[in-house]
Amino acid sequence: MQIFGVDIGGSGIKGAPVDLDRGDLAQERHKVLTPQPATPDGVADCVAEVVSHFSWEGPVGITFPGVVTDGTVRTAANVDKGWVDTDAATLLSQRLDGRPVTVLNDADAAGIAEMAFGAGRDRKGTVILLTFGTGIGSAVFSGGLLVPNTELGHLELHGHDAETRASTKAKEDEDLSWQHWAHRVQKYLAHVEMLFSPELFIIGGGVSRKADKFLHLIEDIRAEIVPAELENNAGIVGAAMAASKREG
């Protein structure tokens, strides 16, 4: 069975049909740049462009980088503030000619995919997936069940919003070495571990492809730390899974 997944990020919007039996993309993904400013209308146009690239006609699952409850956006840290209180599910469904649309938090989607098909398979304790990119997203699982919209990237760390110090964007903006950035990530993980005591951290986002550059530099964390197995496709797969669950 195939369902379409779209992952809206602070820098790019990407999507593809997903093979839900394999938990993998059925075709090579198509990506466009996130418009600046990332207004609801501008982003909706880009989502429509990604979906129409495949001439897709069925249901679509879509991730959003912020809190989403019942299809409505509640926070918008790394996109235009005009998203706040927008009924994203209705807006995007209209832009997609009435196709059924399911919208959920981007890190939650990535976590759902990793728990089913990736690094979190068969793990029943507390598992935390963290996506490092324009910001830091989080997905918390207890006994395999998701606690939605946790937004742990906005924990305060040494007087700062954690994602302003430890995101991939912070690494790029400040031209940090892998060692310097890993030290910041280590401090952040230690803070999250103190609060939740997970047995496993899954590191997702685009940087998961470069895990060999920094994971070995992170020390003094009790939990196991592994890269996301689906890497940066996890959000697309999880979005499609969420849409399939709703349709099913």
**Cα–Cα distances in Å, from 200 out to 70, 210, 223?**
29, 19, 5
**Using one digit for the tens of pLDDT, what is the confidence trace for 209-219?**
999 999 999 99
Q: Mark 85-98 as b/e (b = at least 16 C-beta within 10 Å).
A: ebebbebbbebbee
Confidence of residue 224 (pLDDT cuts 50, 70, 90): very high
Is the pLDDT at 49 greater than 80, yes or no? yes
| Closest residue by Cα to residue 209 from 148, 168, 151, 161 | 168
Is the pLDDT at 246 greater than 90, yes or no? no
Mean pLDDT over all residues of the chain? 96
Q: How many CA atoms lie within 13 A of 247 on its CB side?
A: 19
Total-model pTM: 0.96
pLDDT at res. 78: 87
pLDDT at res. 77: 86
Is the pLDDT at 102 greater than 80, yes or no? yes
pLDDT at res. 248: 61
* Cross-strand bridge partners of residue 73: 68
The CA distance from 70 to 102, in Å, is: 9
pLDDT at res. 240: 98
**Cα–Cα distances in Å, from 2 out to 22, 23, 176?**
10, 10, 40
Are the C-beta atoms of 162 and 136 separated by less than 8 Å? yes
**Using one digit for the tens of pLDDT, what is the confidence trace for 53-91?**
999 999 999 999 999 999 999 999 889 999 999 999 999
Pick the more confident residue, 248 or 43: 43
Could you say which DSSP state residue 35 is in? P
